[in-house]
Structure 1
Amino acid sequence: MTINHKSVRWRHIFVCCHFFLSISMTLSAQDLLVSGQVTDGHLPISGATVLIKSTTKGVVSDFDGRYSITAKPTDTLQISYLGYTTLTIPIQNRSTINVILKEDATALGEVQINAGYYSTTDREKTGSIARITAKDIELQPVNNPLGAMQGYMSGVNIVQNTGVPGGGFNVEVRGKNFINGVSDPLFIVDGVPFGSQSLGDFQVSGEIFSGNISPLNSINPNDIESIEVLKDADATAIYGSRGANGVVLITTKKGRAGKTRFDAHLSTSIGKVSNFLDLLNTKQYLEIRREGIDNDGVGLMLESSLYDFFWPDIKLWDNDRYTDWQKELIGGTAYRNNAQLSVSGGSAQNQFLISGGYHNETTVFPGDSKYRKASIHSNFTHQSNDNRFKINLSTNYAYENNLMPQADFTAKAYSLEPNAPALYDDQGNLNWENNTWENPLASLEERFEATSKNLITNAMISYTILPDMELRSSMGLSSYQFDTYRTMPSSARNPGYGLTPQSYSYLTSNNSQRESWIVEPQINWQKKWDKLSLNILIGSTFQQESTEKLILRGRGFPNNELLLNIAAAQEIQAVSNLDSEYSYIAIFGRINLKVLDRYIINLTGRRDGSSRFGPGKQFGNFGALGMAWLFSEETFLKNSSILSFGKLRASYGTTGSDNIGDYRFLDTYTVTGSNYDGITLVKPTGIFNPLFGWEENQKLETALELGFFKDRLLMNTSWYKNRSSNQLVGIPLAATTGFSELTGNFDAIVENSGLELDLLTVNMRSETFKWSTNFNLTIPKNKLVAFDGLEASTFANRYVIGKPLTILKLYHALGVDPKTGLYQFRDYDGDGNYSSIGDRQWVEDLTPRWYGGFGNSLSFGNVTFDVFFQFKKQKAYNTVRFDATPGFKKNTSVELYNRWQQAGDQNPFQRASAGMAGGQDLGALQQESSASVSDASFIRLRNISLNYKIPYLINKSEVNVYLQGQNLWTLTNYIGPDPEQPNPRLPPLRQITLGVQLVF
């Protein structure tokens, strides 16, 4: 064999050249620095994400939109920003690449959605997730995040309880699932579960809040980046026993890389009651009063001075006097001032944000009532140079001080006699008019103050141990301290009673605290092949929560100046003393499989353990299967000029609930506050029952999502059916047992079903003008499917098989008898009497038949205009609920002036009465009859916002001036204070806000 040395030599040279060429290319690839600027064609975009495609390596653009990233010449950049179409640009050995992003409000595949333990996109999600972002939240002058969500989300019904600052909200996600227990969803703030249940107590707060002071007020809406609501089984089952009522994820803002950025917000608001009732004037009131006295046959008593105390409004007060008590007591102007300053910035590896806010608000009540809140939010993010190690630290702290009168003046404003005396005498003292009335401003002598301190902190640490595998752990801590007190000095009572601080003076205090910690280690593995991608998540949860609540009452003080020192009281009583602990552990997992980028399967599961159940019942298993088919990616539709997006999805699974309170399966006792021969007494409050277990909620959903004309029109329709079983109910016991009830599982089934529709349209879009519309509609249905032994149980008067849980069983009103002038009702049991057991068979439901919202957003140049309407089809209690008989010693709706006066009259209200006729009170039955419920449907202009962006002034500073309004106008046939607030409490106010934002 002959060796050709020349050939070998050239081959050797070729291999060496190839080797050095490869090395050279590798080095050049490592050393290639790509930089540029991201803009929208006019202005730089700060915070845009610049990724190397198919990797996790990336940077974000700085304040001027500039970026720099090290990449290979053959790599491809992927540039994205919320609300803009993502661009994919090959580097092709270029060192400078400038990017212009086009706005696209419907970029389904690019907007990241927080699903709790993982993130997804609108395009690829298999579950039902509603979302609201900072863009919508900032348009609303609200103090509570729940207020910003009202009307914006399908399937989420939120009602504000009161217009008093610091009040609470009622929240239901897809209806009421359980007969007993809390209907609130699970709230999670930056990965930390947050207790939304108030620690207030009616014995302290009285009627001003009815014990419901929302802890969510401590979260500053200006610090929120997004709020996601998880609704169906696919989205909630990974939260297991905590997800039966839905999950609300609140994500706060984070820093972005770039130059240090200062952001200042200043705003001021004025608020007024939006609607006053039409009440009787003095002439009408006195006419009916005298008529009622005559009808009762006690006219002779009116002539005697011995009975002046019965009728001071007729005999002692000025019969020509008139006071508009609504104007006096709730007709004031509430002022709200907000100030917010934040600083943010950082590099590609380190970003930070620190913000502080101050909120000050008054009320429409007389006096110096006020609500103040100071908040601090910080977020720090760090990632190593190789992007393998990441850490995110988030902290939210808020201090609230709420100083309010003990009473809500609204009920008095509706009921005080129109000729009642003046509030103050000639010397400026409270006027008691010779001890003939209770001066409403006496409650200003009483004092109610609530102070809260809320801390939420979380650390998320992750490390990529392999290219496809990440270890991470979330560690969180929350602490909520809530202290309230209420004073009742003797000076707040009529001096005619002869009360002294020693005989009558009270201090009631509530010192409460709720603390919890949570640790959630997780491992996430994801792998992508040519036509298949797989994502597997496994994690566990360790959580512990403790609650302490002590209510003390002191009576009898040496003087009113010592009321705040309970040690000075003659008698101290422990009204309530709660000390409980809750432990919770779980293991959870998720498998997400995607085939050909159009077939998606999402499997989630969780095994929970709760200390709220007895031995053998402490663990429960929950899970769900979600599937999606992106049929618009099929070959026959992929190039359609009409259909740009189409997805069919479905899910089924189970969630549960242990939200019944602590220690319910044990024998429990409470201190009575009394003593026997110096020994403190306790009484039993709970009876041992270790057999009850988890409530279960089975959820089924199907949905169709469509996009037309390059996603200019997006439509999402979904149908759901949830069935809740194994109901945990307090089973009433006979009084002879010494216990009021026994907690146990009832064989009852509650069903919630409904249709949801969401629409988003981009009506016009050009370089200078944009107009988009959003619409959502929910048609819910709730019913009790089964309840074994219902007819023979004590629940027979509350529930009916086939009817909603929220029904009212009322008397059937038949109007006024034209002969006698008295109310008539249907005698269901035929016994000739009207009784609550046999004759309250008329069924009404006050939950909405359907509800939703409708909004438009328009921008022209630097001017942006947003308007949003909320609507509901519903029934509610009307004014008859509170007054049905004219002639009593209190003012009423002018409707009652249309009363029966003589035989043959066909009037809607019975004859006048002063309440002294004796016999059965038919007016009280009318208040609990079908006549007390009427249509309360409405369309409300909930939010309106006008924003003007002033062009750059100095050093590229940005100034936005805005005018906002809330609850400006309501279209309704409802006669009452407010269709969503029929009770005599202060309704939500009409507010107008003027503000300015400065960015530099």
Structure 2
Amino acid sequence: MKNSSIHLNRTKLFLFLYLLLAPLLHQKLVAGATIAPPQSTISGTITDMNGLPLGGVNVVVPSTNRGTISDMDGAYSIQAGSNGLLVFSIVGFRTLEVPIDGRNIINVQMEEDITQLGEVVLNAGYYTVSEKERTGNIATVKASVMEKQPVGNPLAAMQGQLSGVNIVQNTGVPGGGFTVEVRGRNFLSGTTEPLFIVDGVPFGSQSLGSSQVSNQIVGGNISPLNAINPNDIESIEVLKDADATAIYGSRGANGVVLITTKKGRAGKTRFDAHLTTTFGKVSNFLELMNTQQYLETRREGIINDGFGAFLENPDFDFVWPDIKSWDNSRYTDWQRELIGGTSYRNNAQLSVSGGSDRTQFLVSGTFLKETTVFPGDSNYQRANMHSNVSHRSENGRFTLNFSIGYTLEDNTLPATDFTTEAYTLEPNAPRLFDDEGNINWENNTWDNPLAALDERYVALSNTLVSNVVLSYQLMPNLEFRSSLGYTNYQLDTYRTMPSSARNPGLGLTPQSYSNLNTNASQRESWIMEPQLNWKKDWSVFSMDVLLGTTFQEETTQQLVLRGIGFPNNGLIENMAAASGIEVISDTYGEYKYNAFFGRINLKFQDRYILNVTGRRDGSSRFGPGRQFGNFGAVGVAWLFSEEPIFGEGSWLSFGKLRGSYGTTGSDNIGDYRFLDTYTVTGNDYDGVTTVQPTGIFNPQFGWEENQKLEGGLELGFFKDRFMVNTVWYRNRSTNQLVGIPLAATTGFSELTGNFDALVENTGWEIDLQTVNIRSKKFRWSTRFNLTIPKNRLVEFEGLETSTFANRYVIGEPLTIVRLYHSLGVDPETGSYQFEDYNDDGAITSTEDREWIEDLAPQYYGGLGNSLSLGNLSLDFFFQFKKQKAYNTLRFQSTPGFRGNVPVELFDRWQEPGDVTNIQRAYSGLAPTGGLGQFQQESNAAVSDASFVRLRNISLNYKLPKLENGLDVNVYLQGQNLWTLTDYRGPDPEQPSNTRLPPLRQISLGLQLSF
């Protein structure tokens, strides 16, 4: 009854107002008062100057609050008066105002405007900032760059693209990891990886693999980032300096990588299909000895070792079957047999998107399958789903954005990387299979490499990343915003090692040898970040204030088991069938994190900008009284091109001078390090499982700190057709958290604590962008980046008397290696010679390793070009590095040992007076065997590994639009197609003879949109 009464009273009030105002309104109308003009539907198509449709263009009628957005085909429709005005705007194009003049169909072409830096919005994490007004250093890679690279991991698409960011691929097999460094190595221990954030949610990039379970291929480094489909990414921003990273506090010491996934766009419902097939091959084979060269040096080594008389004695044939038992005329190129295959990657993606100007959606599903270049049927499979929904209320005060991604991965690989065997198997080794097609053991005289295919390594993972962002406009200048995120990463791996994979001559049985190693691990995290944002603009002054707090909790658990002894190899994957089970590792970690952060941005006259950020972090990884740390930064920018002296026609179209200083920190030491900790040993004592101490109580250590200083100059010339950004930076990291070794009598291996050491990273970064040609038909643009880094250990109190004395040197980089100084080969004895630094008449492993080589890049960068002619476009990108690396002498420096070696070892010392760099041959049977081991750890094993690589190339053709509205793109892409280098080794960027180098890949692709 009460509600009915209220409704009746409101009806009476509206009726009274109508009766009161109706006569007045009638008089105004009769007197010729202004009447709203009749509305009609205006529609049309929006294209660029090349005739390609433009989706996402804002179409507004200025005299009203009415507006719409063009769909993916460039079509729009809006209600407007016949004498009104339409305004078309989109980032990167000049705003266009078009009178309606009574027309119902208005088709427009928009001209690209590369000078609108103020409209290019960058993701800075907790806020967005325009490229023009940013005070911090934010580098970005857009989807347009990633889509042109045939890669399965987003880190591969970033290689060489960004200054100050060094990314190295660890292996050429799918599912492997990457090493990422932003502006060098800051700390003595701990990871160098930056903080990864996906759609506002921290994403753990550290692998949960176990070295006891994993194979040689990935070495436990299974990258969780494989779960993110590069084609689902809209942009990747890398925050580098203090101004950009300090708002992340302790998590931003090594930089921050922000990954933003794609969202739906307003317009009609759109379906997109993307099909790709990729072929991969090893790009470089080593030059190894042939059979004649190998047998000659092998026999020579046996004779040099004094065993020549036994070569004719059949009783010793088992000692050197490669010479006596095997066919000495046989030759097999084992590189082509074992790593010379072709890998195939098939990728299929289907997405649907669309929505209104208030609600947009996107749903995408992808399936990928990739094989390897190894023998067998190993493969990597990934299925992932990505969806996003965005909504805003009718009055625009409430917005919601929800995104979720889920990925399943199934990686089945051999338990052994065949790369090592491909480089070292004897060239006259027997056939892989006998006449009946069985594994050939050649009378048990060799270990057939294909027997390793009986061993299985399987990695199963599922990854969930979800986030919801809610915002509400409390007042015209005040917004409340809250981000809620949840991630769950599960990895289950197992490795089977059956007795059938071993030489039958060893007499192994399933009961005595066969074993199963398993790893079950999980990382679960949730985060909540409520925020308040207040903005106010005055005539010449504006202020932007952000306040927020973070609550995060992460749990990690891992159980590694080994089952030994099975009734038969058919039951080897059933742990319950094992005769004994050993607990290798059983760990649990809980990490709690809380922070308060804020930002104040002040802008005066649109040219003077001050940005202040701060954060107070609390971490459960430190003891009582040490859990909180304060971090912050100040950034300033002066847009001097906005000064009155620079007019519209000035050759300097953009100029900005900026700088920043601040501190970030790190708590990246693992959980519970300040407590007494123990681990299960896996051994039983009278039926009771035993544990051993692993950590000793020490609540005194605290935060590592990284002080960052930067200055930058950004210039644009000739309406920004020539843009250059030059940066100098200096990062100084102190209060180093390291494990301090303890005496064995304490029962503990180390004590975690702070070292009074100072590490400094300095460098120059240069980014260049040019628009060389821009016409209606043809465009040519160039981008270039160069990084010149320098790392050094400035201070380390007590270094000479510490256990780190053999690893670090004051004034030298952290990336140095200490080596012997090779003096070549003694012409009289044929042995390697080395400098005796301490003059004691002997070469020792400690005092005589004084030669220093730095294996970090001296400089690196990339050069890319983009050309388009009508519907045809060509993009290619070169990556380059100036660096040193271990060469093939690192892995073998003595001819005559069993196993093939690089052909350069054939030019060896043979008799007194010979001048050569390779010592005489040895068989490996004598106790001495020469000084080859010292040579492998000398400066002779390090050489120039600089390179210029055609990292990727893409040729794309967009077919003319079909009558049914179908858009068709076809393309050809290549990755790692060509490398210019003098390096002697498998690959200059990944110089290892134990892991497969990155592959050369070619992709054929088709995109359909309708």
Q: CA deviation at 1:307?
A: 2.4
2:46 to 38, 41, 57: 38
> Does residue 929 in structure 1 map to residue 938 in structure 2?
yes
Q: 1:827 to 1:726 in 2, by over 3 A?
A: same
Alignment counterpart, residue 990 of structure 1, candidates 989, 996, 1000: 1000
Q: Please, which of 442, 448, 455 is the counterpart of residue 439 of structure 1?
A: 448
Stretch moving more, 301-310 or 585-594: 301-310
In structure 1, what residue type is equivalent to 2:496? T
TM-aligned CA deviation for residue 498 of structure 1: 1.2
The correspondence for 2:336, drawn from 298, 308, 327, is: 327
**Helix, strand or coil at the partner of 2:616:** strand
Separation in 2, partners of 1:928, 1:134? 44
Choose from 605, 611, 618 the match for 2:627. 618
Which of 977, 982, 985 does residue 968 from structure 1 map onto? 977
Where 2:126 maps in the other structure, the secondary structure is: coil
Rounded Cα–Cα distance in structure 1 between residues aligned with 2:858 and 2:475: 53
Contact residue 86 and residue 110 of structure 1 kept, 8 A: no
The answer on whether the counterparts of 2:114 and 2:720 sit within 8 Å (CA) in structure 1 is no
1:756 aligns with 2:768: no
Deviation digits for residues 146-200 of structure 1, max 9, x if unmatched? 0000000000000000001110000000000000001000000001100000001
Partner of 2:647: 638
* Structure 2 gap ranges (5+): 1-20
Local SS of the residue matching 2:385: strand
How far does the alpha carbon of each residue in 1:393-442 deviate from its partner, in whole angstroms, 9 at most, with x for none? 10111100000000000010000000011111111111111111111111
What is the deviation of 1:32? 10
From 281, 285, 289, give the equivalent of 1:280: 289
Which residue identity lines up with residue 612 of structure 2 in the other structure?
L
For residues 709 and 337 of structure 1, do their structure 2 counterparts lie closer, same or farther at Cα, with a shift above 3 Å needed? same
Shift in alpha-carbon separation, 1:269–1:866, aligned structure 2, 3 A: same
Aligned residue for 2:799? 790
Distance in 1, matches of 2:217 and 2:931, equals 30
Q: Give the counterpart of 1:671 among 668, 677, 680.
A: 680
From the superposition, tell whether residues 668 and 294 of structure 1 become closer, same or farther in structure 2 (CA, over 3 Å).
same
Q: C-alpha displacement at 1:228, in angstroms?
A: 0.4
SS at match of 1:203: coil
C-alpha separation in 2, matches of 1:24 and 1:785: 84
What CA distance in whole angstroms lies between the structure 1 residues aligned with 2:27 and 2:784?
Answer: 62
User: What residue number does 2:525 align with?
Assistant: 516
Gap change, CA 1:895 and 1:99, over 3 Å in 2:
same
Cα distance in structure 1, aligned partners of 2:33 and 2:262: 41
User: How big is each residue's C-alpha offset from its partner over 1:685-730, in whole Å with a ceiling of 9 and x where there is no partner?
Assistant: 0111101001000000000000011110010010000000000011
Give the CA deviation at 1:582: 0.5
Q: Deviations over 1:517-544 (max 9, x none)?
A: 0011011111111111111111111000
Question: 1:902-931 CA distances to partner (integer Å, 9 max, x unpaired)?
Answer: 111111100000123323751000000000
What is aligned with 2:7? Answer: none
SS in 2 for 1:277: coil
**Aligned residues of 2:831 and 2:930 also touching (Cα < 8 A):** no
Find the partner of 1:854 among 859, 863, 881.
863
Letter of the aligned partner of 2:459 in structure 1? A
Q: Closer, same or farther in 2 for the Cα pair 1:888/1:543, shift >3 Å?
A: same
Q: Provide the rounded CA distance (Å) in 2 between the counterparts of 1:251 and 1:400.
A: 21
TM alignment of 1:248-647, pairs within 5 A: 248-647=257-656
Distance 1:683 1:321 in 2: 54
Which one-letter code corresponds to 2:552 in the other structure?
Answer: Q
The verdict on how the C-alpha distance between 1:848 and 1:727 changes in structure 2, with shifts beyond 3 A counting, is same
Contact 1:56 1:387 in 2 (8 A): no
Q: Is the 8 A contact 2:334 2:422 kept in 1?
A: yes
2:824 is aligned to: 815
Deviations 1:200-224 (A, max 9, x none): 1111112111110100000000100
How many residues end up aligned between the 2 structures? 987
Give the counterpart letter for 1:909 in structure 2.
Answer: I
State which of 884, 905, 915 in structure 1 corresponds to 2:914.
Answer: 905
Pair 1:880-2:889 in alignment: yes
AA of the residue aligned to 2:484:
M
Measured after TM superposition, the shift of residue 365 of structure 1 is: 0.2
The structural deviation recorded for 1:308 is 2.1
Aligned positions of 1:87-236 closer than 5 A: 87=96, 99-105=108-114, 107-236=116-245
Structure 1 runs not aligned, ≥5 long: 1-12
Counterpart position of 1:999: 1009
1:60 to partner: Cα distance: 2.7
How much does 1:282 deviate? 0.4
Give, in angstroms, the shift of residue 69 of structure 1: 6.7
The letter for the 2-side match of 1:763 is N
Whole-Å separation in 1 of the counterparts to 2:41 and 2:119: 26
RMSD: 2.5
For 1:693, the aligned partner's letter is G
Q: State the identity as a percent.
A: 68
**Which shows bigger deviation, 29-38 or 165-174?**
29-38
With structure 1 as the length reference, what TM-score do the two structures score?
Answer: 0.95
- Alignment partners' CA distance in 2, 1:48 and 1:847: 46
- Structure 1 residue 637: Cα displacement: 1.1
Instruction: Return the alpha-carbon distance in structure 1 between the equivalents of residues 963 and 445 of structure 2.
Output: 67
Distance 1:843 1:789 in 2: 20
Question: Of 712, 722, 726, which residue of structure 1 is paired with 2:721?
Answer: 712
Question: Does structure 1 conserve the Cα–Cα contact (< 8 Å) formed by 2:957 and 2:969?
Answer: yes
Residue aligning to 1:655: 664
Q: Contact conserved, 2:596 with 2:616, CA < 8 A, in 1?
A: yes
Amino acid of the structure 1 residue aligned with 2:528: V
Question: Residue 903 of structure 2 aligns to which amino acid in structure 1?
Answer: V
State which drifts further: 615-624 or 32-41.
Answer: 32-41
Q: Which amino acid aligns with 1:971?
A: L
State the distance in 1 between where 2:80 and 2:696 align: 68
Secondary structure, aligned partner of 1:234:
helix
Match of 1:729, SS state, is strand
* Separation in 2, partners of 1:348, 1:932: 63
From the superposition, tell whether residues 199 and 93 of structure 1 become closer, same or farther in structure 2 (CA, over 3 Å). farther
Task: Give the Cα–Cα distance (whole angstroms) in 1 for the partners of residues 85 and 531 of structure 2.
Answer: 31
Give the Cα–Cα distance (whole angstroms) in 2 for the partners of residues 911 and 86 of structure 1. 76
Aligned partner (choices 720, 731, 742) of residue 733 of structure 1: 742
Cα distance change of structure 1 residues 468 and 57 upon mapping to structure 2, 3 Å threshold: farther
Separation in 2, partners of 1:794, 1:227: 40
Partner amino acid, structure 2, of 1:270: F
Change (3 A) 1:322 1:64: closer
1:468 deviates by: 1.1
Which amino acid in the other structure matches residue 932 of structure 1?
A: A
Aligned to 1:880, what secondary structure does the other structure show? helix
| Aligned-residue offset at 1:614 | 0.5
1:80/1:110 contact within 8 Å kept: no
Between the aligned partners of 2:146 and 2:157, the Cα distance in structure 1 is 6
Contact 1:601 1:625 in 2 (8 A): yes
- Structure 1 distance, partners of 2:80, 2:615, is 41
In structure 2, relative to structure 1, the CA distance for the partners of 1:25 and 1:688 (3 Å cut) is farther
